Amino acid sequence: MDPPFFRCRREHQTTALGRRSQLGLAHRLGCRVYRAVERLVARRRGRAGKPSPPACPVSARFREPCPGAPGPRGQAGLSGLVDGRERRGAHEAAESSPQFAASLARVKGRKPATPAYWIRAKRVLARRDTVLAGIIRDHPRIALEPRGEPFFTLARSIVGQQISVKAAASIWARVVALAPRMLPEQLIDAGPARLVGCGLSRRKAEYLGGLARHFAGGSLHVAAWAEMDDEAVIAELVQVRGIGRWTAEMFLIFCLLRPNVLPLDDLGLQRAICRNYFRGKSVSLRTMRKIAEGWDPWRSVATWYLWRSLDPIPVEY
């Protein structure tokens, strides 16, 4: 009795057995088998007298990667590990910035990474300040997130100056539709008239155009900001028309992720201090600065949580 199924199976096994000398055991791309193990498996199969099924899988412990062999799906082999540590070039160091992380997370649809200092800062502030401890406890699952590239963040801040959050979001959506990649060259090409058509005032349209020209012309030391101290960055930014100290401080907090910025000119911070520390009674900026001395060196974190006491939903600047 020789049903067609068994006859086809024997023919298939015979063909596979004939290919063994060509395939060997290292049939998986990018792997080879230790020769001693290969000889042992071959002897056992020879004694058993049974042909092996085609391309049987090899245990991972008997495989070793071939140097320079392509990885899965034709990708290049991993060559970035030296003595267990990742080898990084200059371009990779640039890509580790908070701005790159934020833009990459937006593209992939993932939540941007929280600053590395955030958890430690929360613990220190909660131990020092009972008011902040309560606010932090009431907002356990949210944290500061990076806001993207410098030009994007500064342009967004200019649009949001002196108008409501809802109005700023509506106008910003039209500006992004006009310049989808939000590059300085795109805003320069758009011109003031089309920016005004997005709902911006003529003055703000001029501010955005001036900011774009500063970035395109290289007059701002963007690459050096990461190494400059807070006041030096502020001093450079306020030279741009339309950027004041408040906008520069928002940039330090949300884009450069500086941990110790105290934006006392911010009306929201002033209102939060009065409400949480003085039961709504107005106090001087000097008194507020005295309260904030206990937050050093995490005043950005304290400011962010005081904002949350007024509005639980973080606002993009």
Sequence ranges of the domains in the chain: 115-144+260-317, 147-256
311 is an active site residue: no
| Region of 289 on the Ramachandran plot (φ > 0 left; ψ -120 to 50 alpha; else beta) | alpha
Spot the catalytic one: 229, 265, 266, 296. 266
- Cis ω on the peptide bond leading into residue 112 (within 30° of 0)? no
Report pLDDT for 151: 94
Q: Name the CATH superfamily, with its identifier, for domain 147-256.
A: Hypothetical protein; domain 2 (1.10.340.30)
**Neighbour count for residue 25 (Cβ, 10 Å):** 21
Distance of alpha carbon 31 from alpha carbon 11, whole angstroms: 28
Cα torsion 144, 170, 202, 194 to 10°: value is 110
Report pLDDT for 155: 93
pTM over 0.75: no
Tell me the C-alpha to C-alpha distance, in Å, between residue 44 and each of 54, 79, 175: 17, 37, 72
Report pLDDT for 39: 65
CATH class of 115-144+260-317: mainly alpha
Distance of alpha carbon 107 from alpha carbon 111, whole angstroms: 10
Q: Are 256 and 236 in contact (CB under 8 A)?
A: no
Mean pLDDT by 10 residues, the chain (317 residues): 52 51 42 53 56 49 48 39 34 38 43 84 97 96 86 91 86 94 94 94 95 95 95 96 93 94 94 96 96 97 96 71
Distance of alpha carbon 195 from alpha carbon 212, whole angstroms: 13
Report pLDDT for 41: 54
Report pLDDT for 312: 83
Cα torsion 51, 52, 53, 54 to 10°: value is -100
Closest CA to 168 of 69, 46, 250, 79: 250
Report pLDDT for 82: 34
Structure tokens at 65: 């990667």
Structure tokens at 123: 């613990």
Report pLDDT for 35: 55
